[in-house]
Structure 1
C-alpha cells in the first residue's frame, strides 16, 4: 500500500515538472516571436523616409524606402527631373539697336561670362548623385550633352551679331540657310528676307498690323540694317536653329519614373 502511494506521488511530481518546462518553453518562443516582430516593424518604419517636393501646382510629400535610395539620390534626381528640366545660360537678348551695339562692344566680356556660367552649370549636373539605374543615369548624360549644345549655340549667336559669317559653317544652321544667306549678302537681299520674315511673324501674331507697322517704321530708319540684322538673327536664325538642339524631353514617362521611386505620394494641389 505504501509502495502504491509513493508511486502516485512520484508520477504527480514528474507531471508537474514537465508542465512547468513546457510552459517555460512556450513562453520563451512567444517572447522571441514578439521581439522579432517588433524589430521588423521598427526596421520597416526606419526605412520609410519622407521627401517633400514641389511641382507646378502641387506640394508633395513622398514616402520612399531608405534601404533602396539615399536622401541625396532622391533629392538630386528631383533636381535633374524638375529643376533642370530647362537649362538657360546667361546671355543677353537682342531686340533693339542699343543692345546690339552693347553686344558688339562687350562681346569678349559676354563670352567670358557665358564660359563661366556653362562651366558652373556643367559641374552642378556632373555632381548630381542621381538614382543608380540605367534610366536616370542616361537622362543625366543627355542633360549634360544638351547643356553643351546650348552653350555652343549661344556662343555662335553672340559672335554672329558682330560677324554673321560664323553662321555659314555652323551645324545649327541646317534648314536655316535662307537667314544665313541673307545675313551674308548685300543689302537688297537682306531687306527682302527681312520683309518675308516679318510677314510670317505677322501671320502668327494677334496684332498682325502692329508687326508690319514696326517693320515699315524700322525700314525707313537710318540704322535699318541693324534692325534687319536683329530680326534675322533673333527671330529668324535663332528660332529656326533652336530646333537643331537635341533636348531631353521632360514627358509623362519621366514623371512616372520619378513617382515610381516612392512607396506613396500625398499631394495638395491648387486649381490650374
Structure 2
C-alpha cells in the first residue's frame, strides 16, 4: 500500500515538473551591449506580447518631418497606429509606458503640423503653445519685420552662450542680415531654433534611462547573458 502511495506521489511530482517545463519558453533579445536568453512563463505572456513590449521601448518612434503636410500626416498616422496596435504585456508599468509613448507622439505631431504650415498660418504658432518663451517667438514670427529680426538676433545670442565657436554663429548672422531675403531666412531660423526648441520642451518626453530594460527583464523567470561586446 505504501509503495503504491509513493508511486502515485512520484507521478504527481513528475507531472508537475513536466507541466512547468512545458509552460517555460525562451526568447532571445539584446540591449546596447549584450545578448540575452530569457525564460518566460507562456501562461502569463505570449511571444508576440514580449516582442511588442520590447519594440515599444527599443524603437525610437522617430518620424521624419520634412515634406508636405500630407506626407507628414501619413508618416505620423502610420507610427501612431503602429504603437496603438502593439499587443504588449498587461503589466501596469508597460501599459503606462505605452500611454506615455502615444502622448509623446500626439503632442509632437500637433506641434509639427503647426510648424509645417507656419508660413501660411503664422497665427497658429501662438495658439499652439503655452510656454512663455515659445509664445514670444510665435508672436515675432506672426508680426514679421523688425520684431522677427530682433527675435532672430536674440536666438543667435542665446546660442552663442553655449557654442564652442560663437564667432562663427555671429558671422553667419551678419552675413544673413546682408541678404535681400533676410526676413525669410530669419523666419526659418527662428521657427526651428526659437519656437520649435522652446515648444518641444513642453512635450511629454520619456526618459530612456535603462529602467525600461530593467522592467523587461523582470518579465522573465530567468535571464541568461549569452554574449556581450566590450563597453
Flag whether TM exceeds 0.5 (same fold). yes
- Report the equivalent of 2:228: 269
Cα distance, 1:241 vs structure 2 = 0.4
Q: How many residues align?
A: 230
Q: Unpaired segments of 5 or more residues in structure 2?
A: none
Change (3 A) 1:217 1:142: same
Aligned counterparts of 1:174 and 1:252: Cα–Cα separation in 2: 32
Cα distance, 1:67 vs structure 2 = 2.1
1:175 alignment partner, SS class: helix
Aligned counterparts of 1:61 and 1:229: Cα–Cα separation in 2: 52
Which string of whole-angstrom CA distances, capped at 9 and with x for unpartnered residues, describes residues 218-260 of structure 1? 1112221121011101111111100111123334443332221
| TM-score using structure 1 length | 0.77
Which string of whole-angstrom CA distances, capped at 9 and with x for unpartnered residues, describes residues 76-105 of structure 1? 11111222xx3222311xxxxxxxxxx6xx
Tell me which of 189, 207, 218 is aligned to 1:249. 207
Structure 2 matches for 1:169-248, cutoff 5 A?
Answer: 169-171=127-129, 174-248=132-206
- Report the equivalent of 1:91: 65
Aligned counterparts of 2:228 and 2:86: Cα–Cα separation in 1: 28
Retained in 2: the 8 A contact 1:191–1:228?
yes
| TM-score using structure 2 length | 0.89
- Report the equivalent of 2:57: 81
Aligned counterparts of 2:79 and 2:40: Cα–Cα separation in 1: 28
2:55 equivalent to 1:61: no
Aligned counterparts of 1:189 and 1:179: Cα–Cα separation in 2: 9
Q: Please identify, of 251-260 and 203-212, the stretch whose mean Cα deviation from structure 2 is larger.
A: 251-260
2:21 equivalent to 1:45: yes
- Report the equivalent of 1:138: 96
Retained in 2: the 8 A contact 1:174–1:241?
no
**Structure 1 or 2: larger helix share?**
1
Q: Unpaired segments of 5 or more residues in structure 1?
A: 1-24, 93-102, 104-109
Change (3 A) 1:172 1:49: farther
Aligned counterparts of 2:174 and 2:203: Cα–Cα separation in 1: 33
Retained in 2: the 8 A contact 1:173–1:237?
no
Q: Answer with 1 or 2: which has the greater Rg.
A: 1
Aligned counterparts of 1:176 and 1:184: Cα–Cα separation in 2: 12
